Amino acid sequence: MALVHNLGFPRIGAQRELKFALEAYWRGDSSRDELIGVGAALRRRHWAQQARLDFTPVGDFSFYDHVLDMSFTLGHLPERVRGFKGHELDNYFRVARGRSADRAAAQLGQGNAERSHAGHNHNNEDHAGAECCPVTAGELTKWFDTNYHYIVPEFDSTTTFDLNASRLLSQLREAHAQGVKAKPVIIGPVTYLALGKARNASDRLALLARLLPVYEALLEQLAEAGAQWVQIDEPILVTELAADWQQAFRTAYEALATTPVKLLLTTYFGRLGGNLALVAELPVAGVHLDAVSAPDEVAPLIAHLNADQVVSLGVVNGRNVWKADLNALLATLEPVATALGDRLWLAPSCSLLHVPVDLALETELDAQLRSWLAFATQRLDELHMLATALNEGRAIVQHELARNRKDLESRRTSARVRRQAVQNAVAAVTPALGTRRSRYGKRAVAQAERLALPLFPTTTIGSFPQTETIRRARRLHRSGQLSASEYRQAMHAEIERCIRAQEALGLDVLVHGEAERNDMVEYFGEQLDGFAFSRNGWVQSYGSRCVKPPILYGDVQRTSPMTVQWIRYAQSLTDKPVKGMLTGPVTMLNWSFVRDDQPRSVTCLQIALAIREEVLDLERAGVQIIQIDEAALREGLPLRRQEWKTYLRWAIDAYRVAANGVDDATQIHTHMCYSEFNDIIASIADMDADVITIETSRSDMELLQAFETFTYPNAIGPGVYDIHTPNIPDKDTIIDRVQKASRYIAPRRLWVNPDCGLKTRRWEEVTPALRNMVEAAQELRELF
């Protein structure tokens, strides 16, 4: 009998209930008990939805982040929040979100405690808790190669651990009371150490000996509370591990083998590769393998395991939204099930945290597209179908299987998915398409002549404040209360306001302000064939913050210009150059649910061709500067370093196709919301943008060293101030930063601009900040 279980369920709620409850609490609009009540209700509901499983995950729910939960369970809190007198949940949020000096001083919950991430900004207010002092938030970073972000554990040589199992134990009690066949979920010790950052060059592995007794005690308490199996997540096993980290696995699991629970060692997000033999050698009761990423490792893993070990196969995709091919899966699983009997468990490839909750809510997606998709709830249905067919014979689910075959066939043959013209265009792409007519030196001369910009030209990254007026106009337009022409008028008014403001500030290169854009990917996706948008397809990005990734289902094609009319209008208002503003192909790809029926590289190239048409239309419309944002290029890097080169090759090639079809005198800018370029600088140079604007202000320009060492040839706009806080940078700080930058990069190749777009800021902040920036540039021109 094959069993069915789940590794984790989305915690945010089908209607984002958790998000709204958290934000209400942080604003001070609801009580702690109300928030705790919403959490309990969500767990209850989610367990009920998973009631048919043989094992249901418990402990996967979190008020902010499951890695931070684990830190609290292990009694591993940053020094700065220890000894807090208030409620533990408030202390937890202090680590999660920080608390600004502003806020602490005001004590009223009026200030802006905020953080930004991956180019997304938000500004939720902090809860007016009973405390006074500013606290720095824990660092957020990407959870492997997903768009989920976790709070990084902070280690140093003095780090100690001290078990606090109360959260897990109380959730386990709740689950048992509800009759749930509970399987607690925790992060394993080696992955926990690997996910953290060590300060002062201390050795994380040296902490293992201190950590293991705490894990042993935790497992004992879980056993006492009635847990039979514990899912212990060690996804670090899908990355390249040095010998000492491999040894840490042996040490850790030998120690944990003596505890009275059965451990399901769980890996996901990729292949085990060189770690397969290691995994097979560990004394655990069972192993979970991501069989979507590594179908070819199923047989070798089974061959390596003992005859009493459980094999959990993640056969349906936990991080993408395409219906599984049940018939094909059964064909491969039937012999496995025969061989393994009770030892076979079926599961999603990874936690379902990374997909939306329920497709049934998507009443506005067309029926055909819906018939191709599966969200979290549907994934569990797929698993039950597979298990039924394996355990009781295919005949019992023959209708479902026939249906599945039909749906997949309709996707495979749909003219919305495969467009011959697009396939032909991709096949015809040559390197020449991605190559500028002349080298940078020659282009720079042509551009300088045409644009006649001063030394240290000033500009912004594109967006200006998204005011309530703008959002209201967009809402009314969407709901049909504002006609197309009324909406255009409203946006023209915003553009005009934005242009006048920039003229008054004395900026050199203007932007139209992006008022018409809800989101930098969605705006373009909505106008391109091949993209679809859900209504409720939210996925947690971090804390209360969710994203709604576009569903990239078919060959991508542009049907008409997407931005030209706005830019042309903006340019008609001023003599200063106005930049055209586009999102690049790699970013569109990396922030979407991508199709699984062709390589990502092909999809990326299709988007690139569509963006290229827009670039050329802008150029024909007389636009002299075009910016193509690639905010998400770096985050697409594969988990294994050995795969970086391939990714960078096709990603950069796609960008080049999008950007480099223009004449010498047209200036191409690109923008990236980060500054760690050390390991990819050659690829960045290969993009051959005339100007690249990047984030550097928070690192005080140090990170520009990468560009110096490499002698990066083109122009750079290192962000001179941090737009992620409401603080107004003063002129001297900016001057100082540009002077620092000029140590690494020749002044004539430096631009002066903020870190990122200004959409999350208020005009009251933007105006003085940019005024100081422009004055700084003017003073710098005197100095050099």
- b/e burial code for range 168-194 (CB count within 10 A of at least 16 → b): bbebbebbeeeebbbbbbbbbbbbbbb
Query: Site for ligand GLN (CB under 6 A): which residue of 255, 673, 704, 769?
Result: 673
**Residue 286 or 462 having the CB closest to ligand GLN:** 462
Please choose which of Zn ion, ligand GLN, none residue 581 contacts, taking the beta carbon within 5 to 8 angstroms, the exact cut-off set by kind: ligand GLN
**Residue 24 or 546 having the CB closest to ligand GLN:** 546
668 is a contact residue toward ligand GLN (CB under 6 A): no
For residue 461, the minimal CB distance to ligand GLN (Å) is 4
**Residue 66 or 669 having the CB closest to ligand GLN:** 669
756 is a contact residue toward Zn ion (CB under 5 A): yes
Task: Report how far residue 142's alpha carbon sits from residue 145's, in angstroms, rounded to the nearest whole number.
Answer: 7
Q: Which helix (H) or strand (E) holds 101?
A: helix 101-106
CA dihedral over 408, 410, 411, 412, signed as positive or negative: positive
671 is a contact residue toward ligand GLN (CB under 6 A): yes
Q: Report the candidate in 647, 235, 655 with the shortest Cα–Cα distance to residue 436.
A: 655
**Residue 111 or 462 having the CB closest to ligand GLN:** 462
Contact criterion met (CB below 8 Å) for 103 and 111: yes
Contact criterion met (CB below 8 Å) for 476 and 482: yes
The binding track of 541-580 with respect to ligand GLN, each residue x by CB under 6 A or -, is: ----------------------------------------
Please choose which of ligand GLN, Zn ion, none residue 463 contacts, taking the beta carbon within 5 to 8 angstroms, the exact cut-off set by kind: ligand GLN
Residue 563 CB neighbours (<10 A): 25
The binding track of 100-129 with respect to Zn ion, each residue x by CB under 5 A or -, is: -------------------x----------
Q: Is 46 a catalytic residue?
A: no
Give the distance from CA 446 to its chain's centroid. 39
**Residue 323 or 579 having the CB closest to Zn ion:** 579
- Indicate the SS3 state at residue 659: helix
**Residue 218 or 756 having the CB closest to Zn ion:** 756
- The angle that helices 731-744 and 763-783 make with each other, rounded to 10 degrees, is 50
**Residue 312 or 583 having the CB closest to Zn ion:** 583
Kindly give, in sequence order, each residue whose CB lies less than 8 Å from that of residue 260, ignoring residues fewer than 6 positions away.
219, 220, 223
Query: Site for ligand GLN (CB under 6 A): which residue of 2, 461, 626, 694?
Result: 461
Q: Which two tokens stand for residue 509?
A: 């290169």
Query: Site for ligand GLN (CB under 6 A): which residue of 241, 248, 302, 520?
Result: 520
Among 46, 117, 288, 724, the active-site one is: 724
Name the one residue in this structure whose structure tokens are 């000492």.
244
512 is a contact residue toward ligand GLN (CB under 6 A): no
The one segment of 231-239, 317-325, 457-465, 564-572 that binds ligand GLN by CB under 6 A: 457-465
Please choose which of Zn ion, ligand GLN, none residue 434 contacts, taking the beta carbon within 5 to 8 angstroms, the exact cut-off set by kind: none
Number of residues located near ligand GLN, criterion CB under 6 A: 14
Contacts with ligand GLN in 84-123 (CB under 6 A)?
119
CA dihedral over 299, 305, 311, 317, signed as positive or negative: negative
User: How crowded is the C-beta side of 265, counted as CA atoms within 13 Å?
Assistant: 28
SS percent in the chain: helix, strand, coil, step 5: 50, 15, 40
Please choose which of ligand GLN, Zn ion, none residue 39 contacts, taking the beta carbon within 5 to 8 angstroms, the exact cut-off set by kind: none
Q: Dihedral of the CA atoms 697, 699, 700, 703 (nearest 10)?
A: -100
Give the distance from CA 545 to its chain's centroid. 11
Q: Annotation-wise, does 362 bind a ligand?
A: no
For residue 119, the minimal CB distance to Zn ion (Å) is 5
Query: Site for ligand GLN (CB under 6 A): which residue of 3, 626, 631, 703?
Result: 631
Q: Report the candidate in 313, 346, 58 with the shortest Cα–Cα distance to residue 183.
A: 58
The one segment of 109-117, 374-382, 751-759, 760-768 that binds Zn ion by CB under 5 A: 751-759
Q: Annotation-wise, does 289 bind a ligand?
A: no
Residue 159 CB neighbours (<10 A): 21
Q: Which two tokens stand for residue 106?
A: 């005001």
Task: Report how far residue 101's alpha carbon sits from residue 89's, in angstroms, rounded to the nearest whole number.
Answer: 20
Name the one residue in this structure whose structure tokens are 């003599």.
575
Cross-strand partners of 289: 313
**Parallel, antiparallel or unpaired: strands 625-629 and 149-151:** unpaired
For residue 145, the minimal CB distance to ligand GLN (Å) is 19
Contact criterion met (CB below 8 Å) for 590 and 632: yes
CA distances from residue 128 to 24, 545, 561 in whole angstroms, order as listed: 11, 20, 47
For residue 457, the minimal CB distance to Zn ion (Å) is 19
Q: Report the candidate in 102, 158, 110 with the shortest Cα–Cα distance to residue 135.
A: 102
The binding track of 746-775 with respect to ligand GLN, each residue x by CB under 6 A or -, is: ----------xx-x----------------
Q: Which DSSP symbol is given to 208?
A: H
Please choose which of Zn ion, ligand GLN, none residue 188 contacts, taking the beta carbon within 5 to 8 angstroms, the exact cut-off set by kind: none
Q: Annotation-wise, does 630 bind a ligand?
A: no
720 is a contact residue toward Zn ion (CB under 5 A): no
584 is a contact residue toward ligand GLN (CB under 6 A): no
CA distances from residue 527 to 508, 556, 562 in whole angstroms, order as listed: 31, 10, 7
673 is a contact residue toward Zn ion (CB under 5 A): yes
Residue 299 CB neighbours (<10 A): 12
The binding track of 374-413 with respect to Zn ion, each residue x by CB under 5 A or -, is: ----------------------------------------
Residue nearest to ligand GLN (CB): 757
Helices of type H across 479-519? 484-505
For residue 627, the minimal CB distance to ligand GLN (Å) is 7
Q: Which helix (H) or strand (E) holds 741?
A: helix 731-744
Q: Annotation-wise, does 18 bind a ligand?
A: yes
Binding residues: 16-19, 142, 461-463, 514, 545-546, 591, 629, 635, 671, 673, 695, 756
Q: Which residues are annotated as part of the binding site for Zn(2+)?
A: 671, 673, 695, 756
* Binding residues for Zn ion (CB under 5 A): 119, 673, 756
Annotated binding site for L-homocysteine: 461-463, 514, 629
Catalytic residues: 724
Binding residues for 5-methyltetrahydropteroyltri-L-glutamate, as ranges, are 16-19, 142, 545-546, 591, 635
Which residues contact ligand GLN by CB under 6 A? 119, 461-463, 514, 520, 581, 629, 631, 671, 673, 756-757, 759
